[in-house]
Amino acid sequence: MEPVVGATPKVVKSDQEWREQLSPEEYAVLRQAGTERPFTGEYTDTKTTGIYECRACGAELFRSDTKFESHCGWPSFFDPSSSDAVLLREDRSLGMVRTEVLCATCHSHLGHLFEGEGYPTPTDQRYCINSISLRLVPAE
């Protein structure tokens, strides 16, 4: 993965350490900016109340009260849990310009941000996040 300009991750591990910690599927998405197939992730349709953490480092990223049904095939959120939970960077892969969403703590790939799609949310944003990038901690 290319480094994020002007940002230093708080959690830094070697490529070998990431490979040992993550499953091959998790590594492909979190560390190599892959994407899981739509409608296959464990959190796509989850309505459980709780906090979504980064599967790589455990940092809080999103809360269930910002999750909404977009019917796009991946979990969708309209806002991160805090303004500094995620980083955004331009992604010009696949012949298009998108906004990549990264964990601010470890710079792992989470998914992409889309705006202006007309969903009835307070921000008019859709953080389209791979389930495999997240771990849901249910509320008690």
Q: Determine the Cα–Cα distance for residues 75 and 51; give it in Å rounded to an integer.
A: 13
Which residue is catalytic, options 54, 57, 106, 128?
Answer: 128
Collect all residues with Cβ–Cβ distance below 8 Å to 30 and sequence separation of at least 6. 18, 22, 55, 56, 108, 109, 110, 132, 133
128 is catalytic: yes
Distances (CA, A) of 61 to 15, 24, 95, 118, 135: 23, 22, 28, 23, 10
Angle (CA) 13 19 25, round 5°? 125
| Residues carrying an active site annotation | 128
